[in-house]
Amino acid sequence: MRGALAIIGAGRVGRALGRRLHELDWKIGAVITRSEASARRAVRFIGAGKARATLSREVLASRLILISTPDDAIVKIAEELARIGAEELRGKVVLHTSGALNSGALKAVRDCGACVASMHPLQSFSGVAIPPLEGKVFAIEGDPVAIRLARQIVRALGGQPVQIAGGSKVLYHAAAAFAALFATAALAQSYPDRPVHLLVPFPPGGGANFVARVLAQLLSVRLGQSVVVENRPGNNGNVAGELVARAAPDGYTILVNSTSYVVVASTYAKLPYDPYEDMVGIALLAHFPFVVATSRTYKNLADLVAAGRLQPSPLTSASLGIGSSGHLAIERLLHAAKFQATVVPFRGAPEAVAELAAGRLDMYVGVLPNVLELAKAGEINLVGVMSPKRSALIPDVPTTIEAGYPDSDYNFWMGSYLPAKTPRPIVERLNAEVAKALQDEGLKTKIRQLAGEVETMSVDQFNTFIVKERAINAEIVKLIGYQPR
């Protein structure tokens, strides 16, 4: 049994879909029509266990509801759905009609938050080649508005809509395709049923690791399952990245990573995985501004730049790894402000900042928590923030753009990821749960203490954001002439 399903409507379309789902070993929860008699006939026809003449919360408890009914009953059923509770149905119901939807029906459907697929017109045809069904759902040609809605719901659930001429002879094939779609949706409804593993490419301790652990605690509550954090540092995040990329695409192995996720694609000649083909983004978590810290020799960014332009030997700048996001941020600043510095790699921020305070380094670029306490003690100076706006924790420190150096900003952020073939409903579920977790005041306070700022995005928005960030970092790599290793 794949999962409970309520089929509403016992017309020709409903019977074809119901029969096919029954053959695929679904448990048919209920058949609902405008009359008890037609419901009983449908039960006998497709082998459903129960018959209902009206909607009920018992039916709404099903993992998915398919509505198949002649268009003259759509408005009535949609109104009843809205009366029972639109929020319970939003994103869960597919209204699948054998006729064109008029404007009144569409309004009623939208008011109850349902999604629509249309199978209009139903006409005989011959000689139409049916494309392979795997991974596809057919939005059969008909009402333009309904087709647009059908495409939206198909894509939202991870399918690929294919528009073909419709007719009664393709009902059985369409039913098989919809059944595959429903199987994926039902999987998301039951997810998760065992512990989820969240891999972090940072060592224990540190702000980013703490944020990941608080997020895991909140997700554990929201998902009703343990979310186990595993620290897998090494190779600029590639150790954890490869483990997630190679994991089963079932939603049980999640990666939380920083901007390094997009940086490594340009700074490594060969990776054991492809960040863009082997993984998909779930959600953006937060932005964390990089700051420019200097030894006490330099009072402001202009002093540092002037020294870098005039001194016979370059300044020295600490980096937490050649080819890292911190390294690219330094190079972006050097190029924008037109001065030079020799980049010195360090194993970690504490060592680099200690050298800066001792006066053996000229500058360091990194996240604010790494340098804030020493700056408050007067042992180092903070001369610029590499973000579009100032940090609330150091409001008197200007951005590097305010200081007069265009294109000197650098975006450092954290995001979450899954293996690429994870069913879209699971990705969407996790995106929604992460967005809710990010509204927790405790987590928001911790992120603010790290000078960060929460930002939520949809799945599509985040993956578009990843593409843009990849291009920006690739351009920096090209600009500085860095040779991938």
Alpha-carbon distance 173 to 176, whole Å? Answer: 5
What whole-number distance in Å separates Cα of residue 63 and Cα of residue 188?
9
Q: And the tokens for 39?
A: 């419901």
pLDDT greater than 70 at residue 209: yes
Convert the pLDDT of each residue in 362-375 to its tens digit.
Answer: 999 999 988 999 99
Confidence of residue 188 (pLDDT cuts 50, 70, 90): low
Residue 476 has pLDDT above 70, yes or no: yes
Across the range 339-354, mean pLDDT stands at: 88
Which range is least confidently modeled, 265-274, 328-337, 370-379? 265-274
pLDDT band at 124 (very low <50, low <70, confident <90, very high): very low
Q: Which pLDDT tens digit goes with each residue over 131-152?
A: 333 333 343 333 344 445 445 5
Domains detected in the chain: 4-190 (3.40.50.720), 196-288+412-480 (3.40.190.150), 290-385 (3.40.190.10)
Pick the closest to residue 390 from 381, 400, 380 (CA basis). Answer: 400
Tell me, what's the pLDDT at 304?
Answer: 95
Q: What pLDDT does residue 170 have?
A: 37
288 contacts 451 by C-beta, under 8 angstroms: yes
Token pair for 187: 């999987």
Beta-bridged to residue 345, according to DSSP, are 319
Residue (of 358, 377, 351) closest to 366 by Cα position: 351
Give residue 28's pLDDT: 58
Is a pLDDT exceeding 60 seen at residue 316?
A: yes
pLDDT at position 35: 57
State what percent of residues in the chain have pLDDT above 70.
Answer: 61
Q: What percent of the chain has pLDDT over 90?
A: 40
Q: At what angle do helices 325-337 and 301-310 cross, to 10 degrees?
A: 80
- The rounded mean pLDDT for the chain is 75
* Confidence label for 176 from pLDDT (cuts 50, 70 and 90): very low
d(CA 390, CA 398): 6
Per-residue pLDDT for 450 more than 90? Answer: no
Mean pLDDT calculated for residue range 265-287:
91
Give the CA distances from residue 157 to residues 43, 136, 428, 431, in Å, rounded to whole numbers and listed in that order: 28, 11, 9, 13
Judged by average pLDDT, the poorest of 137-141, 200-204, 320-324, 369-373 is 137-141
Average pLDDT value for residue range 94-118: 54
Distances from the Cα of 418 to the Cα of 161, 165, 211, 240, 451, angstroms: 23, 36, 18, 12, 27
Angstrom distance (rounded) from CA 334 to CA 445: 33
| pLDDT for res 121 | 32
Task: Provide CB contacts within 8 A for 20, sequence distance 6+.
Answer: 172, 175, 176, 179
Compute φ and ψ for 19, nearest 5 degrees.
Answer: -60, -45
**Rounded average pLDDT over 286-309:** 94
Q: Looking at residue 217, what is its pLDDT?
A: 93
Looking only at the bridges linking them, the beta strands covering 413-419 and 279-287 are antiparallel
Q: What is the pLDDT of residue 265?
A: 86
